[in-house]
Amino acid sequence: MFKLNEKIAVVTGSGSGIGKAVALLFAKQGAQVHVIDLNEEACNATVKEIQQTGGKAFAHVCNVAEQQQVKEIFSKIGKVDILVNSAGVSHVGNVENTTETDFDRLYNVNVKGVYNCLQAGVTIMKKNKSGVILNLASIANNIGLADRFAYSMSKGAVYAMTLSVAKDYIHEGIRCNCISPARVHTPFVDDFIKKNYPGKEKEMFEKLSKSQPIGRMAKPEEIASLILFLCSNEAAFITGCDYPIDGGFIKLNN
């Protein structure tokens, strides 16, 4: 079950974190993985790790916010069976202290970047009358999170785009879903804590971990497992859905 043999998968933001975990798992399950990331070193490292275990992978350095770059890379890839939009950035702040620069940065990567990849991916998938798209949304599009104004805006847009693409292309053989993770232990989280709470890293990590009812953060590999299912043939009847993967955060945080 959940094999991706002969599938060509594009995973954005796969130089680290969730995207990397997805790329590694997809390759393990037999897919040819196209690793897209802005960081060339991280991009190449993911590809090398896949190739060292006998998998097939190709590196593409790309800023997903730049439409022409995205179009050129997808054109080069040629065929896309699976697209995972994982590239994203975060920001801490409310509506008052979020600057226009901050807002634009979140919009350009998290919204426009997803739009660029959706447009390029759907155009190719339509030709083959098949394809699967998985977008990374967030619990922030389901509930209010303190000091996450711009981030919540961007992930709400991802959720809405997911529904729109699922509706518009259901008769073209294209499925589109999204998942909504809570906190996931990635290098981003470690860097955020180190930057904002110097000397209190351990204390803050514990606090953030226990904000989820299950008592810990998710592992990137756990998020990747859900993504694998939703992108596999076993999920062929699922489209237009959002799947929380949040350790009980949405329903159990009373």
Name the phi and psi angles at 146, rounded to 5.
-65, 140
Using CA atoms, how far apart are residues 71 and 75, in angstroms rounded to an integer? 6
Residue 148, helix vs strand vs coil: strand
Widest CA span in the chain = 55
Q: Which of 151, 159, 197, 243 is catalytic?
A: 151
- Rounded to whole angstroms, the Cα distance separating 118 from 109 reads 13
DSSP string, 52-77: HTT-EEEEEE--TT-HHHHHHHHHHH
Contact in structure between 186 and 18 (CB atoms under 8 Å): yes
User: Active-site residue 169, yes or no?
Assistant: no
Beta bridge partners of 132: 82, 175
Answer for the pair 148, 166: CB distance below 8 angstroms, yes or no.
no
For residues 5 and 194, give the distance between their C-alpha atoms in angstroms, rounded to a whole number: 40
Asked if residue 43 lies in contact with residue 19, where contact means CB atoms within 8 angstroms, the answer is no
Enter the tokens of residue 49: 């790790």
Q: How far apart are CA 25 and CA 123, in angstroms?
A: 26
Enumerate the active-site residues: 151
